[in-house]
Homo-oligomer: A and B are copies of this chain.
Amino acid sequence: MALTPEQLREIEALRAEARPTRRATVAALEDILYQPLAVLDHGFVRVIDYMGDDGAVVQAARVSYGRGTRRVSEDQGLVNYLMRHRHTTPFEMCEIKFHVKLPIFVARQWIRHRTANVNEYSARYSILDKEFYVPAPDQLAAQSAANRQGRGESLSGAEAAHVLALLRGDAEQTYRHYVEMLNENEDGTALDPLRSGLARELARINLTLATYTQWYWKIDLLNLLHFLSLRADTHAQYEIRVYAEAMLEVLKRWVPMVHAAFMEYRMGGAALSRTAIAVVRRMLAGETVDQPGSGLGAREWRELMAVLGRDGR
């Protein structure tokens, strides 16, 4: 996470200031406001602003005039009820804004969530920093045999070393050529005064998908939960999952009641199909059910057995 001293000073200057507000505030979130939370080798997530707290969800559900908090246990019960019955609109009443630094291939997955506001650093307009993602050795894995979309065993030391050398070498070289084509020093003067330099919007196409970009990303709480349920899931690619995990920690600070309900009903829960429910009922009635007799396909059977804590083979 290569923040320049100047950037760190700007952040510290923001953190040093405090002004009074009549709005709902969350002390645990204020504690980390503006601070970069490191993710991957050069990335970060930092909270820039937020609107609302647990009480705002409760208040919206009741359309009340005041802050809307009663006793903590009542409020948690209401939040649980809303989460369980998918009453979505009260969760839209909170909003959060992040500044995120992330590799472009992660950004491409991330942006598929359309219900957020995004302002990305423009490589048509500005020059990208020399920062690219290189996986840690323990993250270099083979293609999964079981799942066409995932990772399997780690690579051997020799193969891993070779892969790292290729990734690093190509990222270095494509960036070096990027700068060469731009023909521009950091102060804006030409590297070679006899050349014009290629337009930024074209030179950038030489960079690899491992290059870091950054953006401001603002989203309401409901859609953040949806994002997290998909991206903090074990099926998500590791490189986006670590961002989701960092944001789960932010969630816990920001809206602890919503976080608790989310872990109980979404992250820790499971959906059963009509046929799966019938299987569970039969098992509870004492019947021995096997996959061929279950009406479920092989994969669904394994998934159900995993939910039930049983051996699915």
| Chain A interfacial positions (CB closer than 8 Å to B) | 3, 7, 10-11, 13-15, 17-25, 30, 33-34, 49-52, 56, 59-61, 63-67, 77, 80, 84-86, 89-90, 92-93, 95, 97, 99, 103-105, 107-108, 111-112, 114-115, 117-122, 124-125, 133, 135, 139-144, 148-153, 155-156, 159, 163, 166-167, 170-171, 173-174, 177, 180-182, 184, 195-202, 204-210, 214-216, 218, 220, 230, 235, 237, 263-265, 267-277, 280-281, 283-284, 297, 300, 307-310
CA A114 to CA B232, docked complex, whole Å? 23
Check if A84 sits within 8 Å of B273, measured CB to CB. Answer: yes
Closest residue of B by beta carbon distance from A90 = B119
Check if B216 sits within 8 Å of A93, measured CB to CB. Answer: yes
CA A201 to CA B148, docked complex, whole Å? 10
Copies in the complex: 4
Check if B65 sits within 8 Å of A49, measured CB to CB. Answer: no
Chain B contacts for A181, CB-based, 8 A: 163, 166-167
Chain B contacts for A180, CB-based, 8 A: 166
